Amino acid sequence: MNMDNVINGIEEGWKDALASEFKKQYFTALKSTLLVETKTSDIFPSQPDIFAAFNLTPFNDVKVIIIGQDPYHGEGQANGLCFSVSDNISHPPSLKNIFKEIQNDLKIPYPKSGNLASWAKQGVLLLNASLTVRKGEANSHIDIGWHTFTDEIIKQLSFQKKDLIFLLWGGFAKKKIKFINEEIHHILASGHPSPLSANRGHWFGNAHFSKTNDLLISLNKEPIDWRIK
């Protein structure tokens, strides 16, 4: 895995915003770890998709941020966008509950595809805290430096922009509030869409999708078309 090629291909706005991070010692160590691991393990997502969230949602276009924890670790699932799967891949439980809430909230039919790229292209940054994972091993890259990197992304967005909408689902995502200036940004928080949380009443009915669009309209921004295309 040649991470330098991945970095060179990142969208220019993100490349500028994160230039100093790519030069730091922790990121150099992260690259070395990935290089070693790819010789003995399958790493997801594939190299071209590691920075898919940034390439599909340019830095200057970010309006909404959804924070996930870890890429899917099953064959063919991860595509670089949190909660999203590639076309023709069955929907994981959390994604099913996301679509069910959209169906309840906005009366949008449940989609065939679980690929959320159409959201990303409208300014929804679908950010996993870890950007890679070993095949079959959830959270296997939790300690290799990705969290330092993605925390810095949240800080940069909070510092450089205003009136962003952060959707924080579950305890892990809510911990990121400390990096967000709540005086100039908007936070919608709820339980996680995983069955464990959703079935306890902490997810369904949060109406985050209509609330996000109401906020965007109040800010004179284009609302998100949450249909999957």
Provide the token pair at 20.
Answer: 């100093």
Whether 70 sits among the annotated catalytic residues: the reply is yes
Q: Which of 4, 16, 42, 70 is catalytic?
A: 70
Separation of alpha carbons 222 and 219, rounded Å: 9
> Catalytic residues, which ones?
70
